[in-house]
Chains A and B, each alone.
Chain A
Amino acid sequence: MSQPIVEYRGISKYFAGVRALEKVDFSCRAGSIHGVLGENGAGKSTLIKIMAGVLRPDAGEMLLDGRPVSFAEPQAAADAGIVCMFQELSLVPDLSVADNISIARPPRRFGLIDRRAQVARAEALLARVRCEDIDPNALVRELSLSRRQMVEIAKALGRDPKVLILDEATSALTARDVQTVYDLLAELKAQGVASLFISHRMHEVDQLCDTLSVFRNGRHIETFAKGDKSERDIVRLMIGRDVEAQFPPKPAPVPAAERGAPLLSVQGLAWQNRLNGIDLAVHPGEIVGLGGLDGQGQKELLLALFGVLRDVEGAVVIGGRKGIPGSPAAARSGRTRIALVPEDRKTEGLMLAMPIADNLLAASFARISRGPFIDPARARKAVDDGIERLRIKTGSASDPVMTLSGGNQQKVVIAKWLMIDPDIVLLNDPTRGIDVGTKQEIYRLMRELANAGKAILFYSSDYAELIGCCDRVSVLYGGRVVSEKEGDQLTEEGLIAASLNIDVEAA
């Protein structure tokens, strides 16, 4: 066993008296891919933030190559070879891809930034992550989330890491990019780089890592080699109790002829060049999945149905009425009420700095008011009901919503929408970057809603989720539904093939 490259000795960290890490001993070896598992709030982020020099431990010491180190700032950690890709992407949206990749140490000529060298460097690094299709001169804001994440990876590679930390780095990636990242990590491993891999996707961790560490409530529970424990054991370590089946049971499939009138029917939906004639129907009581690679129009479809996009063409019938709502305000208050859990909960789903209560009520001011005035009793009851229904873990409803963990934040977004008792629920990747326990609660909730007669349209970048949750899955490619899978056809292979628009069944 080789010498650990990074070693923690009794590291503790507190935020305002709340324990984030408690006497953690942890080490990670060169030439390994080390998976760190744990629910949100288990201390994983704090662990790596200390390593990356973002936070300083309150107690204990950290050793790098056997020598104690203490980083005053992230740049010092980066200089020592510890490079981190954070969950929240660290790219500047208004700078070009090349600018972002070289942002810390741009190549200079006569003291000024050498643009040509910078672009060449960006091209070389993008080629290494097999993203030659990204224009180094494009602005980051113009790229999709998955492309941005690949730029982030290229940027990290450009800093010659000895220790590479990937915090949920693959949560927004497409299947193809995920493979690229796997290959890259294997390559780095061969070069003796230690990679710390943090992901909520069990199968990714399982496929990729050679060593696994489990954290729970700020403590390091156990480290073991991959294969020493079953997936079930690992999950038990993570949440400290047994788990029931991951996905709730599906009802027996209803034959297409007996489904009755759809609550939502879409025909030939087109918008700019992103949606090119989508046909789709969702019946009451159904969970219909949207599959496909990232950026094939799933997000735009959901936004269009929610009344966000202008000049959408096509025939849409919602609850027997023609036409799509003109705005989110109309969508949520029409005769058939629509809710949308948006892609990015931090910027689109929540007012992070505002209290939990205000976030919960944001869609229901009209429902809790008498005339223009909010009825405090009704408001309080609505907030309490929302917190209870989704079992949101919170100290006080007047705390800012940003004090919650990611999973609980997402629950606030969902609870907000359940308050208006929606008939159609649109979900845009609602489980991205949240912990296993919360994921399961969301799956269960979706099924409960469906059983209560709601129509659910659910986009997920995780195939296992689509297969486990959905009655049917429509796979999008190039702004079109290229395939619809249900029953036995709903398999990972089938979805991947359809996502790449290659039909294996026809062959």
Chain B
Amino acid sequence: MRLAVSPENKPILIASLFVVAILFAGTAYTLSTTGTAPLLSPGYLLQQLQTGSFLGICAAGMMMVILLGHIDLSVPWTLTAAAMTATAVGGEWALPTALAVGLSVGLLNGFGVAFLRIPSMIFTLGVDTVLRGLMVAQTGGFAPQDSATPLMLYLAKERILGIPVAIFVWAATSIVIAVILTRTGFGRSIYATGSREAAAFLSGIRTRLVIVGAFVVSGLCAATAGILLAGYSAKAYQGMGNSFLLPAIAAVVLGGTHILGGRGRYAGTVVGVVLIVLLNSVLSIMQMPEAGRQIIYGAVIIGMLLVYGRNQRVTS
């Protein structure tokens, strides 16, 4: 009998299998070269999840926006701005300040997209650039001297029962997002709006508030990632979020969320993040030159999407 997998879960299944395949391939490599299997040790995996948590939190917020058929390109500098203001403020107000930055950026993005009706790709790109200018102006172009607060260091680096705290933060964020998406009217409204905005609006869903809400969640997630990353690096620095934008989008899409919105499960995004983190890590363990890594990385994303896309044609 054929195993019945719903179209929603198929990408998640494929991505999970691919994660296992990466681990196998990497282990086969290390066994053949050094005779050890470090990839399968809990220490290595926990460390990967710890670095993956920054990306995971960004991707969680990004998913909310992508489910609407929009995109948030302001994630890198929202993250950076939140981290830089947090370290600049310091003390116990550091975290609330960072979250406030994320909230404000989210509100601004939501306002521009939902009320001014500017395409999100343009508006969030503009906001990203403005934030970058503001940060450069604030520091005068020099690296900021402020360092992360003890709480930030704790969240990013410490361990509880041997498990990095950052993973708990990611897990908590994930639970919140998953509950929002599956168990609240707001979450269901995100799917409805992303699937067909006109029909959602005519069903009495306040689609503009839904859009603002999703961007706010994305901003808050980026800020949270900023807090953790600043703690991990012990300080905030210019461009610290730059390497998160494309992997975050890739993780969401690899996890089966439809880039045009309306479809996707949060579990997929988690698997997508793990896949990307492991792929990068295994490629660097294999001492693949940077050029080769980029090529494989891109090819994997395109290849996986091709696999998902098969059999998805609508017959009617």
Contact = CB atoms under 8 A, between A and B. Distances in A.
B202 A372 contact: no
Interface in A354-386: 354, 358, 361-363, 365-366, 369, 372-374
A225 B183 CA distance: 57
B202 A351 contact: no
A402 B315 CA distance: 10
Nearest to B314: A402
B159 interface: no
A57 interface: no
B204 A372 contact: no
A328 B202 contact: yes
Interface in B187-240: 188-189, 191-192, 195-196, 198-206
B183 A374 contact: yes
A329 B192 contact: no
B188 A416 contact: no
B199 A329 contact: no
A333 B206 CA distance: 12
A427 to B, nearest CB: 13
B204 A331 contact: yes
Contacts of A332: 203-204
Contacts of B315: 15-16
Contact of A308 (B189, B191, B202, B262): B202
B192 A351 contact: yes
Contact of A329 (B179, B198, B206, B262): B206
Contact of B199 (A16, A327, A349, A361): A349
Given A358-B188, A402-B316, A363 B203 contact: yes
A230 interface: no
A243 interface: no
Contact of A347 (B184, B186, B199, B314): B199
B185 A351 contact: no
Contacts of A354: 191-192, 195, 262
Interface residues of B, number: 25
A138 interface: no
Which of the listed residues A328, A347, A353 has the most CB atoms from chain B within 10 Å of its own CB? A353
A342 interface: yes
Nearest to A349: B199
Contact of A369 (B184, B192, B206): B184
Nearest to B260: A353
Contacts of B198: 347-348
B204 A358 contact: no
B6 to A, nearest CB: 8
A332 to B, nearest CB: 4
Contacts of A369: 184-185
A350 B206 CA distance: 16
Contacts of A353: 195-196, 262-263
A41 B309 CA distance: 28
B162 to A, nearest CB: 34
B199 A351 contact: yes
A358 B67 CA distance: 15
A333 B202 CA distance: 13
Nearest to A307: B204
Contact of B189 (A331, A333, A342, A365): A365
Given A351-B262, A352-B196, A374-B183, A361 B201 contact: no
B203 A362 contact: yes
Given A353-B195, A402-B314, A374 B184 contact: yes
B188 A361 contact: yes
A414 interface: no
Contacts of B189: 365
B202 A365 contact: no
Given A363-B204, A372-B184, A373-B179, 14 more contacts: A306-B202, A328-B204, A331-B204, A342-B202, A348-B202, A349-B199, A349-B202, A351-B196, A353-B263, A362-B199, A362-B205, A365-B188, A369-B184, A373-B184
**5 nearest interchain CB pairs?**
A365-B185, A332-B204, A351-B195, A362-B203, A351-B196
Interface of A: 15-16, 306, 308, 327-329, 331-333, 340, 342, 347-354, 358, 361-363, 365-366, 369, 372-374, 402, 416, 420
22 contacts: A327-B204, A328-B201, A329-B205, A331-B204, A333-B204, A348-B198, A351-B192, A351-B199, A351-B262, A352-B196, A353-B263, A354-B192, A358-B192, A361-B188, A362-B192, A363-B203, A369-B185, A372-B186, A374-B183, A374-B184, A374-B185, A416-B203
Interface of B: 179, 183-186, 188-189, 191-192, 195-196, 198-206, 262-263, 314-316
